[in-house]
Amino acid sequence: MKDVVIIGAGVTGTSVAYNLSKYKGDFLVVEKHADVCEETTKANSGICHGGYDAVPGSMKAKMNVEGNHMMRKLADELSFPYKQIGTLVLCHDEKDFPNLQKLYDQGIENGVGGMKIIYNEEILAMEPNVEEDVYAALLCEEAGIVDPFLMNVAYAEGSNLNGVDYKLNTEITEIIPEDDHYKLITADGEEILTKAVVNAAGLYADQIHDKLLGDNKFEIRARRGEYLLLDKATDGFVSHVLFNLPTEKGKGILVTPTIDGNTLIGPTSDFVDDKSDLVTTREAIEQVIEKVNDTVENVPVRQVITSFSGNRAHETGGDFVLEESKKGFFDCVGIESPGLTSAPAIGKYMAGLVKESLSLEDNRDFKPGRKPIPKTSEMDKDTHNELIKENPKYGKIICRCEQVTEGEIVDAIHAPVGARTVDGIKRRCRATAGRCQGGFCLPSIIEILARELDVDEEEITKKGKDSFYIEKRVK
């Protein structure tokens, strides 16, 4: 009998897990995919929002601001990259200025700090590539960027080190209430008994809710956003996260540095019927390229190295739903933007609800943090040489674009809740994430995964089920 089962291993579910591990109990995270960070968390802007655009008094506003204020300490504790670079909301026409002022006032009401309104000359001094006729901008110094993959992975590793179990490739198909517990049925027919359930299933949280309650209380629609990622040669093109002030023409396209020195532009925003549909389209890519010129000038689109899309879980009520819907059944529903920023606060809040409901005691053995994978590309020569002396694998470059060594890939595989797929390697140490997108290093990564997992190379996948690289060998 488990004390708590968390359904979903995105950043929300793993944050809940990490915060729950501060209490005594038998906790399990179940995830239908082959790895953590396989749905919304893997495909977003990587922005730590300030919280000025959330409706005052909403759960989004509360969680956003609190999560933002927790981020720096948490990034240090769990060793994931975070930079407080600030955001600029650009107002291009003086007639729209009252809306910019409203955004500032709303931020003040929400408790956002470090905000001020600046004008043309100061904006262009900070961001020379902004459209030169820009009138004003809202600067929020509390906002920043984060690595969403490593944040998710760090939560998973930190919770696992503190006793939380993870069961991947496990889809929950039925939830049956018993006298004082729940029986979860998996797609493989396995039964999991638990005193409580946390529904952190993202796009599918409405369906998980209905497996138990069947009241159609929530409706989650998938809102797809498509992005373009530019090569690291564009590092410095912008130094802040740039948004356009929403107007009657729409929100426009954001431009932001990534935590690793790329430039990211996008997203589009379109509802799609199929929640699993993550295609990218020519029409959307052309839309991004066209609209980004309203934000900045001379975007080096010839430096695009890949496109991708992600679906957001938009609950038609418009706000986060964080509650105990039935005794022992906890919903985290409608976690869309600013869900990444809000995750630290959501995890703390939901763990508190569970603690109170189950009367959990503090875990005095809890140890914060986790040991990150060494990033040899950022080491000085002497430190790197010492590491090579300890393990020669840190001296063999596998991914030349990102300067990732064999030692780092092996570490990613053998870490708590370690990588089992090529995408899992990419998110933990960036191998295949560079300019060639795995064109040269992929065969070596497949070989290393097979060797370390003691399986045939034919069994290695990109992202789990039905994503095999090798169908059969030629004899």
The catalytic residues are 49
In angstroms, the CA 460 to CA 445 distance is 10
Dump the DSSP string for 176-199: EE-SSSEEEEETTS-EEEEEEEEE
Residue with tokens 């995964």: 449
CB 386 within 8 A of CB 374: no
Question: Which residue, among 266, 262, 228, has the nearest Cα to 402 in the 3D structure?
Answer: 262
Of 54, 134, 38, the closest CA to residue 341 belongs to 54
- Start-to-end Cα distance in the chain: 50
Report how far apart, in Å, the C-alpha atoms of 309 and of each of 287, 290, 361, 467 are: 14, 17, 42, 18
Structure tokens at 128: 């020379």
Crossing angle of helices 339-358/148-161, nearest 10°? 20
Cα–chain center distance at 237: 23
SS3 363: coil
- Name the nearest CA neighbour of 11 among 249, 237, 234, 310: 310
Q: How many residues does the chain have?
A: 475
DSSP one-letter code for 234: G
Q: How many CB atoms lie within 10 A of CB 119?
A: 12
Point out which residues pair with 116 in neighbouring strands.
139
